[in-house]
Amino acid sequence: MSQPNPASSRPQGSYDRVLAAFVGLLLISNIGATKLIAFGPRVDVAGVQLLPIITDGGAILFPLTYILGDVLAEVYGLRRANRAILTGFVLAAVMSLTFLLVDAAPPAADWPNQDAWHAVLGFVPRIVVASLLGFLAGQFLNAWVLVWIKNRWGSGRLWVRLISSTIVGEFADTLVFCLIAFGPLGNVLGGESIPWPVLLNYIAVGWLYKVSVEVVLLPVTYRVIAWVKRRESA
């Protein structure tokens, strides 16, 4: 009679759940990012546009990917965090390629929504490249900074690691995305850049907003990390 495998009776842990949530939030945010949002009337001070506050629909959920990225790096280490980041990158690329193929496919004769589909989900090379490269740069830096601080100064002061890694990671993500999607770095992929005052507003607002969400949700991040650690040690 075969003996039960001890490994099969161990808890499976929460890595797969955190990974699934991480990738899901990334994909939803990438779709939401196709819409630019402006809050407030136009206000210029000394030639610098302060209002309206300009962001995109991806800003609603995308900061949560950094919270889960912090959980992955803090609990599972840099190697498994990077595995999750690469998984998200590959699936985001697959999603973009799928939208490209669907957009290029001929619509049915009685389906009237081709133009609407193309306007929202049509393949825009610079947006896709900006999203993928910004995600890679930001998430890799976020994980690396968190683990580097932990290795250098120990496991205390978790809040310092969380906020520091988010400041660096979100800045890289926002800067790369904006300069390619709406700035001069993306001009080689087609389209034109938005004016520099608007672009700088977009970068600053996006970065400050995402960091602020991380700070506000710091107690939630603490609890999620503690819960995952308990699950992993059970």
Record the tokens describing residue 65, joined without a space: 């990917």
- pLDDT surpasses 60 at 66: yes
- Cα–Cα distance for residue pair 37/59, rounded to 1 Å: 10
How many CA within 13 A on the CB side of residue 175?
9
- pLDDT at res. 189: 75
Question: How many Å separate Cα 8 from the centre of its chain?
Answer: 34
Confidence of residue 48 (pLDDT cuts 50, 70, 90): low
- The larger pLDDT score, comparing residue 2 to residue 99, is at 99
pTM score: 0.83
For 192-205, what is each residue's pLDDT tens digit? 788 888 888 889 98
List the structure tokens of 100. Answer: 């490209």
Chain center to CA of 166: 11
pLDDT digits (tens, 9 = 90+) for 76-131: 999 999 999 999 999 999 998 898 899 889 999 999 999 988 888 776 777 788 88
Three-state DSSP state, 229: helix
Which ranges in the chain belong to alpha helices (H)?
Answer: 15-32, 62-71, 77-104, 114-121, 125-153, 158-181, 196-216, 218-233
User: Hey, is 41 helix, strand or coil?
Assistant: strand
Please tell me the predicted confidence (pLDDT) of residue 105: 92
Residue 11 DSSP code: -
Q: What's the token pair of residue 115? A: 């133009």
- The predicted pLDDT at position 7 comes to 38
User: By C-alpha distance, which of 27, 55, 29, 51 is closest to 40?
Assistant: 51
Q: Please report the pLDDT score of residue 51 as a whole number.
A: 79
pLDDT at res. 144: 96
Cα–Cα dist 124/111, whole Å: 22
Cβ distance 59 to 65 under 8 Å? no
According to the model, what pLDDT value does residue 201 have?
82
Spatial CA neighbour of 183 closest among 175, 233, 76: 175
The pLDDT assigned to 123 comes to 65
Question: Comparing 63 with 78, which gets the higher pLDDT?
Answer: 78
Per-residue confidence band for 207, with pLDDT thresholds at 50, 70 and 90 = very high
Residue 46 has pLDDT above 80, yes or no: no
Please provide the average confidence, as pLDDT, over all residues in the chain: 86
Q: Which domains does the chain have, with CATH numbers?
A: 12-233 (1.10.1760)
Examine the pLDDT at 35 and tell me if it is beyond 60. yes
